[in-house]
Amino acid sequence: MGKKRRVEFEMVSGSVEDTQALGEQLGRALRPGDVVALQGELGSGKTTLIQGIARGLGREPEAIRSPTFVLMREYPPGPPIAGGGAGGDVPLIHIDGYRLEGQSAVSWLDVDLIFSPHKITLIEWAERFTGVLPEDVLNIQLTHVSTNRRRLTLQSTGPRSQAMLAALQSATVHADARH
Ligand SMILES: Nc1ncnc2c1ncn2[C@@H]1O[C@H](COP(=O)(O)OP(=O)(O)OP(=O)(O)O)[C@@H](O)[C@H]1O
Ligand SMILES: [Mg+2]
């Protein structure tokens, strides 16, 4: 852990709907160029959270599946849906590093294409992209608590991700939040 001040937000989700609701709030807070890096074991809810984020960005969540075999998928903007945030017409990139093994596999990635200031990028298995991710990303760690409960820990790493958390926290006044 560095000495740099990090802002944290933690919640325990009791259902798929809870996780998606948090994602939706976060999706509304995202802006072009934002990167969200998700870490957590199989079935911890990364894709579920991304479905909520997609909804907050004005996309149909049903369209979102883990791109397990293709590494990366780009979702075109759909017709605006109620409650969609500022990201509605921003290209959404979904990356899943599940099948990436070793640093050599990561090195062929076209980082400039993926981390565009004009797109929003969401990454599953972000721990497999060490050294490739931008400095300022919103880290989200998901862990199993029980069958239907997941702990989500959100951590900023710079001003951009701090702004994401600030926007999220001001929207989730009822959530169990702490600094
Ligand atoms: N509170 C919860 N939040 C999210 N998912 C939950 C929760 N409770 C139970 N689940 C279940 O956990 C699973 C989460 O699956 P999901 O595909 O989102 O995980 P993942 O982290 O993307 O896994 P993978 O590493 O395989 O991509 C689903 O089957 C979902 O129904
Ligand atoms: Mg997944």
**In the predicted model, is pLDDT for residue 92 greater than 70?**
yes
Sign of CA dihedral 164, 113, 119, 97: negative
Best mutation site among 16, 19, 147 for ligand 1, i.e. most ligand atoms within 8 A of its Cβ?
A: 16
Alpha helices in the chain (DSSP H): 16-29, 46-56, 103-107, 111-114, 159-171
Ligand nearest to the CA of 140: 1
Fold assignment, 12-161 = Rossmann fold (3.40.50)
What is d(CA 147, CA 104) in angstroms, rounded to the nearest whole number? 36
pLDDT (0 to 100) of residue 85: 61
Instruction: Please give the model's pTM, rounded to 2 decimal places.
Output: 0.89
Q: Residue 27 has what pLDDT?
A: 94
Residues with CB under 6 A from ligand 1: 13, 15-16, 18-19, 40, 42-48, 66, 98, 124, 148-150
Structure confidence by residue, pLDDT tens digits, 47-91: 999 999 999 988 887 778 776 667 788 887 766 656 556 666 888
**Domain-by-domain residue ranges, the chain?**
12-161
